[in-house]
Chain A
Amino acid sequence: MITYGFLILLTPLLAFVIQIFIGNRLPRKGDWVSISAVVFTFCLSIAMLGMMLFLRDSSYKIDKSWEWFNLGHMQIHLGILIDNITIVMLVVVALVSSLVHIYSVGYMKGDPRYSRYFAYLSLFTFSMNGIVLSNNLFSIYMFWELVGLSSYLLIGHWFEKDSASDAAKKAFLVNRIGDMGMFIGIMLMFTATGSFLFSDVFAGVENGMISGTILTVAGVCLFFGAVGKSAQFPLHVWLPDAMEGPTPVSALIHAATMVAAGVYLTIRLFPLFTPDALTIIAYVGGFTAIFAAIIAVTQNDIKKVLAYSTVSQLGYMILAVGSGAYIAGFFHLVTHAAFKAGLFLCSGSVIHAMQHAYHKLKDHETDPQDMRNMGGLKDKMKITYWTMVICTVAISGVPLTSGFLSKDAILAGTLSFALRNPVHFLLPLFGFGAALLTAFYMFRLIFMTFHGEPARQEVHNHVHESPLVMTAPLMTLATLSLFLFYTLPYFNPFSDQGWFTRLVVAVESSVPGSLSAHEIAEGVHHAHTSAIILSLIVAGTGIFLAFAMYLKKRISAERMAVRLAIPYKLSFNKFFMDEIYSKYLVSPSLTLAKKIGYFDWDLYDKYFINGFGKVTEWISRIVGIKWDYDILDQRIVDGVGHSTQFFGRKLRLIQSGKLQSYLIWVLCGIIVMFVIQTM
């Protein structure tokens, strides 16, 4: 298994290296290199999953580490951890990644940076697999930054557009804030336990090497990394902007895998969160779920709706982890990866078709992503329509779909949490409210895009279904949104019992005094039935409202907007979060930077640094002329030559060539020697 782990990690890296250096010179611009690499990892992870299922041992675990470097008493280890969560996550990543790679062949056809796009996809797959396979905080942090980098590169793939490069920068910077928190958390854990390895850290928590408030703070700091990466409030602002990237990238990175990395991290580190930290996590997640859902209701850009929906669903997962039902959160991560990637790829198919139609009509002004310009696409794009409907039904939590099972598990988790601690009654309210809104805005999206009258008939005439290379991944993902794939070998659409729950079993928290996994499971079990009934009611209400407002037009959406003017404005403008950030964070820091820049350039550089230069120049001129040239060169260096010349001229006279005069000198010499000797 460890070999498999290495192959899964390194094959995409190899593909990246090949693609980035010689991709352009390969046949088909080398897309087959990346695709075969990622399909290979998919096969390997499926093989690992199969082995794991046949082992029937949910606690099976390979944890192997190697010393990387040694700083005296501090050793840094790198290593690979393969257990049930890793394997399921690997399958999810490899599956979505493979489908997105295949889909991209159709979507990115004719792109000027085709091979580079695939290279970055491979880099992303490598780094994501790295996060999943890491057994320590140190390397997880490295891969964390690497996925951030590949996300940056892919959002900015069309960097000629200012909005794309701005969005890339924004994503990178906002993520950096979260990563800062994560770094502090890692360092707190390291200082306390002296190791980065998960096993050592958990053991340290269990032994009380770190406890109380400092453990809560460390946990919240680590969670802050997840807040950035999983786009939780207040760092959610980057994800909707990240939709500037190509749609397959949005599906892979900003819906299914990278944003789920934050959730994965909280799940991985679940044993070290104190009850206080978990409460904070639950509130952040719950608030994000409802907050993003409210924004999604009024957006008109098809990808923005999906982006806010992603933020909201990630909030759900975080809420589940925070309320202790982290298995439910992980389950939702897996099911969500399939249907949300499906939704994004469907929207990509729609956008692709719209773009094509506008291109045919030589219309480069109209936004192909605006749902108000669509409508009536149902008959033109049958496959896209039906796959998108299946995914929408799944995300809305309708029975027979995977989303129903996982969402229901989360709602049951929050419900039982609130029943245990009635103070936190807001959390299930957040959960059910978000479920209602999710059903509403997702069906609004379907009705606005595919039903009703087309906005412009001539555009509608030019719309075509996408090629098979794009629709095949859609069909795969829609199929995977059915409950069946998650409950085998059972066929009960109302219970999540199946291979997944058998494989992924909750581990005990390392924090002394926490609720045991058994207690949590018991509570969830009790809340299960009421959660099912409530979630069916809210989902039904949401779908009905969308049906009445956008298909039958019984309730006028415009009149509602007027009547609920203030909430509508808030939601439409995303609660002015971007404006608030730009007014209170971005522009003050820009002003500050300008002030500091003034100080630095106009005062420090001009007077101090340049002054130094002037003084040096002046000193060197004096030294150069007075001392070096006049004294050293003229007197000493030239003086040696002059004196040699002078003595030479004088001594020349002695060399007369007359032996007799030489003899006189010899005589004189001898006399001098005698005189010296006698003295």
Chain B
Amino acid sequence: MDQLNTYLIIGAILFSLGLFGIITRRNAIAVLMGVELILNAANINFIAFSRFGGMNLSGHVFSLFVIIMAAAEAAVALAIIINLYNNLGSVNVDDASSLKQ
């Protein structure tokens, strides 16, 4: 069971790094990379539970889905970021504040 804990700790570290990136970075692309990190932390957890926690193949299938979804998400997010850049001339998330009063 020690091995499960190591995986979970690695996942948690990865998740915290992703969260840290999302919170602290002003660059939209860096925020997107943080999101990817969090998704991969989730993937590690899925795999770890699939191996040690009795989730069997479901964990694998789920992490495959997550990878596919992450790819799609990256595509959509990058498209939004490009549009953002076209409109504002920067990819700083703080500048995208036109809905704010």
Q: Which residues of A contact B (CB under 8 A)?
A: 657-660, 663-664, 667
The answer to whether B19 and A667 touch across the interface, beta carbons within 8 angstroms, is: yes
Q: B residues within 8 A CB of A664?
A: 23
Distance of A656 from chain B, by nearest CB (Å): 8
Tell which of B22, B97, B99, B100 touches A660, judged by Cβ atoms closer than 8 Å.
B22
Q: A657-B97, A660-B31 are in contact. List 11 more A-B contacts (CB 8 A).
A: A657-B99, A658-B93, A659-B93, A660-B22, A660-B23, A660-B24, A660-B93, A663-B22, A663-B23, A664-B23, A667-B19
Q: A residues within 8 A CB of B99?
A: 657
| CA distance in complex: A659, B25 (Å) | 12
Distance of B16 from chain A, by nearest CB (Å): 10
Interface residues of B in 60-101 (CB under 8 A from A): 93-94, 97, 99-100
How many chain-B residues does the 8 Å CB contact rule pick out?
10
The answer to whether B23 and A657 touch across the interface, beta carbons within 8 angstroms, is: no
Q: A residues within 8 A CB of B24?
A: 660
| CA distance in complex: A464, B19 (Å) | 130
| CA distance in complex: A663, B31 (Å) | 12
Q: B residues within 8 A CB of A658?
A: 93-94
**17 contacts across the A-B interface (CB closer than 8 A):** A657-B97, A657-B99, A657-B100, A658-B93, A658-B94, A659-B93, A660-B22, A660-B23, A660-B24, A660-B31, A660-B93, A663-B19, A663-B22, A663-B23, A664-B23, A667-B19, A667-B23
A interface footprint on B11-30 (CB within 8 Å = 1, 0 otherwise): 00000000100111000000
Q: B residues within 8 A CB of A663?
A: 19, 22-23
| CA distance in complex: A160, B28 (Å) | 107
- CB closest chain-A residue, reference B31: A660
- CB closest chain-A residue, reference B20: A667
Q: B residues within 8 A CB of A660?
A: 22-24, 31, 93
| CA distance in complex: A657, B31 (Å) | 16
Q: A residues within 8 A CB of B19?
A: 663, 667
Q: Which 4 A-B pairs have the closest CB atoms?
A: A657-B100, A660-B23, A663-B23, A664-B23
Q: A residues within 8 A CB of B23?
A: 660, 663-664, 667
Q: A residues within 8 A CB of B93?
A: 658-660
- CB closest chain-A residue, reference B19: A667
Distance of A655 from chain B, by nearest CB (Å): 9
Q: A residues within 8 A CB of B94?
A: 658
- CB closest chain-B residue, reference A662: B23
| CA distance in complex: A657, B94 (Å) | 9
Q: A residues within 8 A CB of B31?
A: 660
Q: A residues within 8 A CB of B97?
A: 657
| CA distance in complex: A663, B24 (Å) | 10
Distance of B27 from chain A, by nearest CB (Å): 12
| CA distance in complex: A663, B22 (Å) | 9
Distance of A98 from chain B, by nearest CB (Å): 98
- CB closest chain-B residue, reference A657: B100
| CA distance in complex: A633, B9 (Å) | 59
Q: A residues within 8 A CB of B100?
A: 657
| CA distance in complex: A667, B24 (Å) | 13
- CB closest chain-B residue, reference A661: B23
Q: B residues within 8 A CB of A657?
A: 97, 99-100
- CB closest chain-B residue, reference A664: B23
| CA distance in complex: A260, B99 (Å) | 104
| CA distance in complex: A660, B21 (Å) | 10
B19, B23, B31: residue with the most chain A Cβ atoms closer than 10 Å: B23
- CB closest chain-B residue, reference A663: B23
| CA distance in complex: A334, B86 (Å) | 127
| CA distance in complex: A660, B99 (Å) | 16
| CA distance in complex: A659, B19 (Å) | 12
Distance of B54 from chain A, by nearest CB (Å): 24
Distance of B90 from chain A, by nearest CB (Å): 16
A interface footprint on B39-74 (CB within 8 Å = 1, 0 otherwise): 000000000000000000000000000000000000
| CA distance in complex: A663, B23 (Å) | 7
| CA distance in complex: A667, B31 (Å) | 16
